[in-house]
Amino acid sequence: MAKHKKQKLELDSIFEVAFAFRRHLSAIRIVLAGALFSTAANAVLQIARPWPLKIALDGLAAGPGARTLPLLPDRTFTLVEVIAIASVSVFVLSLLISFANYGQRYLSAKAGQTLAYRLRRDLYAHIHKLSLGYHLQSRSGDLIVRLTSDMNLVRNLLVPSTMALIAQALVTVLGLLLLFRIDVTVGLAAIGIMPLLFILTSRTTRKVRDVVRKQRRQEGKLASTASESVSSMQLVKLHGSEAQEQERFLASHKKSHKQGLRASRLQARLEQNVEILVALGTCIVLWMVAGRTMAGKATPGDIVLAVSYVKLIYRPVRRYANIVARLSKGIVAADRIREVLLEETESDASSGTLRPAIRGRIDFRDVVFAYEAGKPILRNFSLTIDAGETVALVGESGSGKTTVASLVPRLFEPESGEIAVDEVPIGEFELAYLREQISFVTQEAALLGLSIGENIAYGNPEATQEQIEAAAIQAHIHDRILELPDQYEAVLLEDGRGLSGGERQRIALARAFLNRRPIVIFDEPDTFLDPIARRTFWNAAADLAPGRTMLCIVHDPERVPFANRVIHMSAGVVSASGTHEGLLESNEPYRRLFGDQKGALHVR
């Protein structure tokens, strides 16, 4: 089972998200600093923007005659000069704001894209380091959602949205200071509704975040459902289950849709209430400043400033109300990404460092293993396979054969007992090095959407073309590859579709020939092969056997005539060991199993 590192899992705010991903943010700190500078400059310029209009209005209200300007008290100006200065100031401020906006948008986008690249790279690498047990318990579609759409939400949360909120916060502080400069009572009136706005947004935000968390979970399930159905299209069509799969997809989609509508309803209600409170605050400030102006204590330009600053200081609250669902999605997405990053990797669980030359002896000593607690698959399983020996492992379905094979490269960890290679416990080997010593060919050849040559060289990227072709010749697949238009450069479809089962298995076998590893494990590789393809495969495998330890899990030991020994498993233990002929004579369960297989073959 995968384990969480001991840290708080659930994130509740942008600050907690930023702290959780501080290492990734630190890597882009220079770009972030530039974006923050542009943001601060933009905030200051926005505060200055109403001043030219104030100057022009005050000048017009005062009529002709000389007057001073707020920033130039030692010099007098005519009305025409005042209007000209105000007009030029509007243009200059707009020009500076455009440059600040460009810097803020470009640098924020650059920081966001770089952050997403680094975080996605690390998450993808981390996913590959997680144990096979974790992946068996996880939905692949949900992991893909975390790598893609969740990542974009986090990027938008940590950079563009955060920068926008910082800008609005600066504008709010500066605007309040200038309102207090106009009049303390005006400033107090402006912030009077802030506690109500804070309580309202806080309560709604918590509700929206809970809804969004459920929605993102449903979207992960939705992606998994779609992935399962599309990847199993042949099964769906053969059983005429198109309508059933559509219903299954829509069932998940409806749940996500329902949560999305609920989040939208909460956000719309918040926006409505915020608009009412903001309008109330604006009315109060306008009434007070207008009264001061009529009393001769303020100018018409002060009314413009006051209303402009009220709009500016309330804008963050209104903006937050408009994007509360988006911010909540970003926080929940960050929570989901961090949840994966906190999972313990195989390297975290492994402390082995040894990298000795391996001959290939394998020892299982009283090994106990269970996929589910209390339901052991292996029960004190013990077996020794000598270096260079070929062993055929047979037994009924569920007897633990595949589990035995999976424990050697440490795809799973036993509950108790010990597994050793060359009499060294496998936990003492460096994990990557141990796996580099083992070739594994399964029932369905693991092929990727790469060229045939790249698939053969998978795990050995430095292999030359001559080595790749030599391995293909040994696996009896070279001639078939040459018949393809692009030969070794032919790019395979997903899972090697377009090739027969025998061709896919022989490509996987060519990989084993190329890597020349001391331990080779075959896990029922001929299950889906016809007799001719099966015979071709095992003839090639026999050529690979000399000098290697080979564990062959098969239904019929006669398919591996070159095996030195046959091991019969039953109920998670070794029930018999010997030659095929000897076990037929001496072991009734083995004879019964083999007889059933012969009968099945005869029927076909």
Return the pLDDT at 21.
Answer: 86
**209-220 pLDDT, tens digit each:** 777 777 777 777
Residue whose structure tokens are 């100006």: 77
Rounded to an integer, the average pLDDT of 447-453 is 83
Chain centre to alpha carbon of residue 247: 27
Position 2 confidence tier, pLDDT thresholds 50, 70, 90: very low
Dihedrals phi, psi of 429, to nearest 5 degrees: -80, 150
- Position 384 pLDDT exceeds 50: yes
In a domain, 576, yes or no: yes
Return the pLDDT at 475.
Answer: 82
Asked whether residue 112 falls in the same domain as residue 172, the answer is yes
Asked whether residue 97 falls in the same domain as residue 148, the answer is yes
Q: Of 216 and 585, which is predicted with more confidence?
A: 585
Q: Of 24 and 165, which is predicted with more confidence?
A: 24
**525-543 pLDDT, tens digit each:** 877 777 887 888 888 888 8
Position 240 confidence tier, pLDDT thresholds 50, 70, 90: low
In a domain, 242, yes or no: no
Rounded to an integer, the average pLDDT of 232-244 is 63
Three-state secondary-structure class, residue 549? strand
Taking the model in full, what pTM does it have? 0.70
Asked whether residue 449 falls in the same domain as residue 555, the answer is yes
Asked whether residue 329 falls in the same domain as residue 463, the answer is no
Q: Cβ-count burial of 80 within 10 angstroms (0-12 exposed, 13-18 middle, 19+ buried)?
A: exposed
CATH number at residue 399: 3.40.50.300
> Average pLDDT over the chain, rounded to whole?
80
**351-360 pLDDT, tens digit each:** 778 888 889 8
**Which range marks the domain in which residue 592 is found?**
389-405+437-597
Rounded to an integer, the average pLDDT of 546-560 is 86
In a domain, 63, yes or no: yes
Q: Lowest mean pLDDT of 60-64, 229-233, 588-592, name the range.
A: 229-233
CATH number at residue 75: 1.20.1560.10
Pick the most confident of 39-48, 293-302, 417-426.
417-426
Asked whether residue 395 falls in the same domain as residue 496, the answer is yes
| Nearest one of 206, 109, 201 to 156, comparing CA atoms | 109
Could you give the CA distance from residue 260 to residue 107 in angstroms, rounded to a whole number? 31
- Position 364 pLDDT exceeds 90: yes
Listed in sequence order, the residues at least 6 apart from 32 whose beta carbon sits closer than 8 Å to its beta carbon are 25, 107, 111, 159
Asked whether residue 329 falls in the same domain as residue 468, the answer is no
Rounded to an integer, the average pLDDT of 106-135 is 87
Asked whether residue 345 falls in the same domain as residue 463, the answer is no
- Position 250 pLDDT exceeds 90: no
Chain centre to alpha carbon of residue 429: 29
In a domain, 59, yes or no: yes
Pick the most confident of 357-366, 458-467, 588-597.
357-366
Could you give the CA distance from residue 109 to residue 107 in angstroms, rounded to a whole number? 5
In a domain, 288, yes or no: no
Count Cα neighbours of 460 within 13 Å in the Cβ-side half-sphere: 22
Could you give the CA distance from residue 171 to residue 277 in angstroms, rounded to a whole number? 19
Asked whether residue 54 falls in the same domain as residue 176, the answer is yes
In a domain, 540, yes or no: yes
Listed in sequence order, the residues at least 6 apart from 473 whose beta carbon sits closer than 8 Å to its beta carbon are none
Return the pLDDT at 237.
Answer: 61
In a domain, 28, yes or no: yes
Asked whether residue 104 falls in the same domain as residue 153, the answer is yes
In a domain, 494, yes or no: yes
- Position 4 pLDDT exceeds 60: no
Position 6 confidence tier, pLDDT thresholds 50, 70, 90: very low
Q: Where are the beta strands (DSSP E) in 166-265?
A: none
Asked whether residue 515 falls in the same domain as residue 456, the answer is yes
Asked whether residue 60 falls in the same domain as residue 174, the answer is yes
Return the pLDDT at 361.
Answer: 92
Return the pLDDT at 166.
Answer: 79
Return the pLDDT at 321.
Answer: 62
Rounded to an integer, the average pLDDT of 494-519 is 81
Return the pLDDT at 92.
Answer: 92
Asked whether residue 465 falls in the same domain as residue 333, the answer is no
For the chain, what is the domain count? Answer: 2
Burial 107-143 (b: 16+ CB within 10 A, else e): bbebbbebbbebbbeebeeebeebbeebeeebbebbb
Q: What is the arrangement of strands in the sheet containing 375-385, beginning at the earlier edge strand?
A: 375-385, 362-372, 416-421, 424-425
Residue whose structure tokens are 């007057």: 67
Three-state secondary-structure class, residue 70? coil
